[in-house]
Amino acid sequence: MVNSNSTKPQKTALLLAQRIVRDIEQQGLGPGEKLPPERLMMDSYDAGRGTLRESLRFLELQGVLSFKPGPGGGPVIQKPTAENLATTLALVLQFDSARYRVVAEARSSFEPLMARLAAERITPEQLAGLEQTLADMEAGLHDTEAYLDSNRRFHQGIAWASDNSLFGFLVEAMAGSMDATRSTEQPQRRRQTVLRAHHRIYEAIAGSQPDEASEAMGEHVQEYLVYAQRKHPESLDRPITWPGAT
């Protein structure tokens, strides 16, 4: 028989973690600011030391807190990043026995909408950053790391230019350790094809042409799926593993 009380401490700690996050928001606290000392938090939340520490540890794992050691140290607020999302997402997908193909297929579904929104909402600063990725990719066509970096920044730039933070975090999470073909070598001809596709997408976004941007991005990501299936099917069929390591 399972002890019905075995999950109570965990549930209590999670509820306390939610209260702490709520109070951080209501008090207008931001990254770099410290939470009160442990004793004050125990009194404020009427919580035991073990429950409080479990709650803080949970928030640390979620990227909400870090811990400053030594006198005057303690929990420090920080802003969760796409890396935190990528870690959690990879773990969930691993237990669902998902393959990297699901990531590529998901991106082919939402990136055209992302490009459409970017064509409507991009700022001059974001447009300049996007243009820079094209220059960097062209200059780095013979440098694998430079090419991959500029390719990643291009898609991330469009995601954030859509003014939809969910797209921004998703693309950052998927463009890192969850990129199925990040470790596969791409010939110069393929890199030139990608560069031309990026130029077409950029021109549509720069010209405030939502339909054209969506169409260009849709063709680009679909072409990627076809290429990956033909040249690197083993990458698409590889199981997703936590923390997304190869």
Residues 191 and 89 in one domain: yes
Residue type for position 220: H
Task: Supply 243's token pair.
Answer: 């923390």
| pLDDT of 7 higher than 60 | no
Task: Quote the pLDDT of residue 112.
Answer: 98
Task: Quote the pLDDT of residue 109.
Answer: 94
Helix (H, G, I), strand (E, B) or coil at 67: strand
CA 70 to chain centre: 32
CATH of residue 44's domain is 1.10.10.10
Query: Does the residue 244 lie in any domain?
Result: no
Query: Does the residue 162 lie in any domain?
Result: yes
Task: Quote the pLDDT of residue 149.
Answer: 93
Query: Does the residue 213 lie in any domain?
Result: yes
- Most distant CA atoms of the chain, gap in Å: 66
Average pLDDT, the chain: 91
Output the pTM of the full model.
0.85
Residues 88 and 134 in one domain: yes
Helix (H, G, I), strand (E, B) or coil at 99: strand
Least-confidence region, from 21-30, 119-128, 132-141, 173-182: 173-182
Q: Which domain holds residue 47?
A: 8-77
Q: Which of 66-75, 154-163, 178-187 has the highest mean pLDDT?
A: 154-163
Q: What is the mean pLDDT of residues 127-140?
A: 97
Task: Quote the pLDDT of residue 178.
Answer: 66
Domain count, the chain: 2
